Amino acid sequence: MSKYLKVATALVLLGSPAFADGFGLGRVALPEEIAAWDLDVSPDGTGLPPGSGDVLTGEEVFADKCAVCHGDFAEGVDNWPKLAGGWDTLADDDPLKTVGSYWPYLSTSWDYINRSMPFGDAQSLTADEVYAIVAYILYSNDLVDEDFVLSDETFTAFEMPNQDGFIIDDRIETEYSQWVREPCMENCKDSVEVTMRAMVLDVTPQEEVEASAPVAAAAPAPAVAEAVQVVALDPALIEQGEKVFRKCKACHQIGDGAKNRSGPILTGILGSPAGVVEGFRYSKALMEMAEDGLVWDEESLHAFLARPKSFMKGTKMTFAGLRSEDDLDAITAYLASFAE
């Protein structure tokens, strides 16, 4: 037996229940832990939980949970994916692959929404809400009428338009021997040249400017200080704002131990000058507004968070904005509760 096989065998044995108990390694997974992990839904409906949802309910949930990225009618916002349309584009050089035009099985949409959406708050939807959202997406693709109800009992009866547009991948059996060979490790090409730049693919980062050293901020004007104090005194509003912040926490951290991520930390932002978080590289657009005296008071925060790209043309923030005034008030209160 080779030494590698011996090591592999030892690892397998150590992972078995008997050895795990003996060496104190791991434990048997609890039923609820398995249930939380085992979320996948198959095309034949295996894994679907009981529940149902209609198009009109789905429209309301979609507007509240999904439209900020995907648009009110699933048409997509900025670079966020379009979920509707494209049914006649699959033969084009640049096809629009949406739920309605491309996906062969409805389970793909249900499983992904249930597992990963909404962005920043994954697995917060109930089963009924997921059924309703999927029903509304089908409606947005003109595949069902407005009185359509999707449930675990009717799920498998619905066939997607492109169900026959896919074939079984049998390349392992039919082609594998033709294109598998020893890999080339050196001098594999006579010459190497750049044939396309990332800018063409719209993924080149915008020009960024090093943030200047943090500047000691002057005390906020009385009106701003008073506004901060007012929103900070409403615990219910702060609690609501914490829920709204779930849409932000994929990119931002706040509070003790917060670190810069793709967005800067937000601790102490209310009443602070823009562009002063140490160690974060801001966009050129933000630094220009910072040099012009932008201060993140309640008014400017509301304007920015409602429509980031309109307020600050060239911002790196991809978030489409908060639609509700209540959400804007709540997020402002939550941010105000984290003073430096």
d(CA 307, CA 97): 27
Rounded average pLDDT over 198-205: 53
d(CA 102, CA 51): 26
pLDDT in tens, 43-72: 999 999 999 999 999 999 999 999 999 988
Percentage of residues of the chain with pLDDT beyond 70: 82
The answer to whether residue 122 scores a pLDDT higher than 70 is yes
Q: Which fold has domain 39-165?
A: Cytochrome Bc1 Complex; Chain D, domain 2 (1.10.760)
Grade residue 319 by pLDDT with cuts at 50, 70 and 90: confident
Q: Which fold has domain 215-336?
A: Cytochrome Bc1 Complex; Chain D, domain 2 (1.10.760)
pLDDT at res. 150: 97
pLDDT at res. 171: 86
Which range, of 95-99, 134-138, 327-331, averages the lowest pLDDT?
A: 327-331
The chain-wide mean pLDDT, for the chain, equals: 82
* Strand bridging mode 149-151 / 52-54: antiparallel
Rounded average pLDDT over 306-317: 85
Q: For the chain, which residues make up each domain, given as ranges? A: 3-33, 39-165, 215-336
The answer to whether residue 303 scores a pLDDT higher than 80 is yes
Which range, of 71-85, 184-198, 205-219, averages the lowest pLDDT?
A: 205-219
Grade residue 143 by pLDDT with cuts at 50, 70 and 90: very high
Give the DSSP letter string of 53-72.
EEHHHHHHHHHHHTHHHH-T
The answer to whether residue 222 scores a pLDDT higher than 50 is no
3-class secondary-structure state, position 228: helix
The answer to whether residue 114 scores a pLDDT higher than 90 is yes
